[in-house]
A and B are shown apart, each in its own frame.
Chain A
Amino acid sequence: MATLEIRDLHVTVEADNATKEILKGVDLTVKQGETHAIMGPNGSGKSTLAYSLAGHPKYTITGGTVTLDGEDVIEMSVDERARAGLFLAMQYPVEVPGVSVSNFLRTSATAIRGEAPKLRTWVKEVKEAMERLNMDPSFAERNVNEGFSGGEKKRHEILQLELLKPKVAILDETDSGLDVDALRVVSEGVNRVRETGEVGTLLITHYTRILRYIKPDHVHVFANGRIVESGGPELADKLENEGYEAYVKGGASA
């Protein structure tokens, strides 16, 4: 069973000619089949956690360990992490002009699966996945994220999640900027992947709204670069009612 283990993770970023520590000792274990929600105020370091796990070059890991099934993730390049089974659905997916969605998906699936998917089954697989996400077939011929609406970008991220079948999926504020209809479609996509029982999900969010559609097994409150409280789904209800105020007092918010 796949397990992502994060132990005492410290991460810094260079900003304004100074080194700033964003993550200050994160401990978290995500097992296949589990869903963890990480909730926290703006600036608490939640997105830094997501991007550090995926290997974004902007962030420097200064301490701690991250392993996936015992393999050292920190030592891996960005593409190696993805091939090892980590997936990051991004909050702000970038445009890649000149590269069509269909070309991108196939190149990516080929890299992740280690061989080119058979064309006939692949076309069917993509078509069906797109239908489930209410995506028009013409979408496949558009350039990656170019001119996509906020909702289209997020559906495209979840489309990749469904096709690439990672061991651990990190969803970075997938709910932000979505209207209720889009949120439902996207959440249904995440739930289909979760129901396979083969993915561990790390759901990073600012709002409790998405948790009405995607039920977490564990909820963690993130503040000032670390997890400050962990609990079950009831913790989300508490946050819904009380907000983050209790966690950011005394300048705890970065």
Chain B
Amino acid sequence: MTTVIETADLAAAYASGPPALSGVTFAADEGQAVAVLGPNGGGKTTLFRALLGEIAVVRGTITIGDATAYVPQTERSRLDFPVSALDVALMGAYARTRWYRRVTAADRASARAALERVGLADQARTRFGELSGGQRQRVLIARALVQDARVLLLDEPFGGVDHASEQAIMDTLDDLRADGRVLLIATHDVEQARRWDRVLCVRGEQIAYGAPADTLTNAVLEATYGPEIVMLDCGHRAVAIQHHHH
């Protein structure tokens, strides 16, 4: 297995402030999905922005062997814009389109293929804002595929989607893993985190990293979520409940 993404003692900061996240050391191989688990404001987005090169790395190193794409939460985008699912997928080609040129026919074909891959070929002309939350999430994943990204940073991809949509997104993500892509999935849902190959727990700094069974212990979860956490022990399953701050 080839290691695609790796950090060593990574610390990242906004502007000239103190590090918002520090001590992050993890590695992910081809085809692995890593849940990035932590409370809101715990540093999940900070980690993504550091991996994307958008904020300063003040200590440690990042090694990424492949193109990386960010898949934001869909409600962060303007749902009233007159853009179709295909238009949004095509945005993945903007970076390689010179300012004086139109998007190429090859990129259009690639956007259509990406929508087909996430199961939305028949919705290509539908306005983005009229799709369901889960469908929008899959369009944004298609956009990352048009970017030719081998590493996908997904910000709460299951936030606010119903069960059927969640399954459709899971299928899409499994398909991408089978293809050797690396997925980092930010979530504050412990049960969600259990489904993936690795879990990285963060709360301002790295709390733990490893396979879910080894990592998601009561001690680690308490350190991740702090005293606010309510632990419900249902057999082997610990469920973390916390207040949402947006």
Do A and B pair up? The answer is no
Q: Which residues of A contact B (CB under 8 A)?
A: none
Chain B contact residues, CB within 8 Å of chain A: none
